[in-house]
């Protein structure tokens, strides 16, 4: 009887260990979220200051994904800009909850730019622009988050937009219309 009890307890303990291991693995996966995501909210000492400042700002990441910014935001109502926009205005839009897709025009072909633009056009709290010389072919920014990808068909683009558009906002309810349209 004692041997049977020990076997049952060991079996139950093993089952609990396995189930907890599976839960821990799935929790770990969901905590990691999007593969390759950089979480500046967690890694930037002192956080990303959300202050208005005139003039140029030197950001700790390229393209910027948060920090001091221009008092004027960039219009982010599904706008696709043909030229580089002012980073400080784009960062202000991130504060409002926008996702900013950037691409290196020297490394991304026109057909891929159009595929990206199709994800942006007509979608509130979205904007896109070239960002010459950025490290990645394509980069997505939301306040405090950044993701680099090589292809406009990468499924992580949709995951990033779904997860951070509006939800990464430091100013929920702030508008994306009426901003700069340079």
pLDDT digits (tens, 9 = 90+) for 131-141: 999 999 999 99
Instruction: Determine the pLDDT at residue 32.
Output: 56
For residue range 21-45, list pLDDT tens digits in order: 333 333 233 345 899 999 999 998 6
pTM over 0.85: no
Q: DSSP secondary structure string, the chain?
A: -HHHHHHHHHHHHHHHHHHHHHHHHHHHHHHH-STT-EEHHHHSTT-----B-SS----SSSS--SSSB-SSPBP-EEEE-SS---HHHHHHHHHHT-EEEEE-TTTS-HHHHHHHHHHHTT-TTEEEEE-TT-SSSEEEEETTEEEEES-TT-HHHHHHHHHHTTTT-SSTT--STTSB--
Q: Which two tokens stand for residue 34?
A: 């999007």
Mean pLDDT of the residues in the chain: 86
pLDDT in tens, 85-107: 999 999 999 999 999 999 999 99
Residue 134 burial (CB < 10 Å; 0-12/13-18/19+)? buried
**Token digits for 18?**
């396995």
Whether 75 shows a pLDDT value over 70: the answer reads: yes
Q: What is the per-residue pLDDT for 46?
A: 72
Tell me the domain boundaries of the chain.
1-32, 38-164
Q: According to the model, what pLDDT value does residue 12 have?
A: 35
Contact 126, 165 (CB under 8 A): yes
Q: What is the pLDDT of residue 24?
A: 32
Instruction: For residue 90, give both structure tokens.
Output: 């784009």
Average pLDDT of span 57-64 = 95
* pLDDT of residue 125 exceeding 50: yes
What topology is assigned to 38-164 in CATH?
Glutaredoxin (3.40.30)
């Amino acid at each position: 009887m004692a041997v049977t009890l020990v076997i049952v307890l060991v079996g139950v303990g093993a089952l609990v260990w396995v189930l907890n291991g599976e839960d821990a693995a799935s929790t770990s996966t969901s905590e990691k979220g999007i593969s390759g995501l950089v979480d500046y909210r967690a890694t930037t000492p002192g956080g990303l200051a959300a202050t208005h400042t005139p003039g140029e700002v030197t950001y700790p990441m390229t393209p910027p994904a948060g920090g001091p910014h221009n008092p004027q935001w960039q219009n982010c109502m599904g706008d696709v800009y043909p030229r580089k926009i002012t980073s400080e205005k784009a960062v202000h839009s991130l504060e409002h909850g926008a996702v900013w897709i950037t691409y290196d025009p020297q490394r991304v072909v026109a057909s891929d730019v159009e595929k990206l633009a199709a994800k942006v056009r007509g979608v509130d709290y979205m904007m896109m622009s070239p960002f010459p010389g950025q490290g990645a072919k394509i980069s997505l920014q939301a306040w405090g988050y950044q993701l680099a990808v090589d292809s406009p068909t990468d499924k992580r683009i949709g995951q990033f937009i779904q997860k951070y558009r509006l939800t990464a906002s430091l100013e929920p309810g702030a508008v994306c219309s009426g901003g700069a349209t340079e």
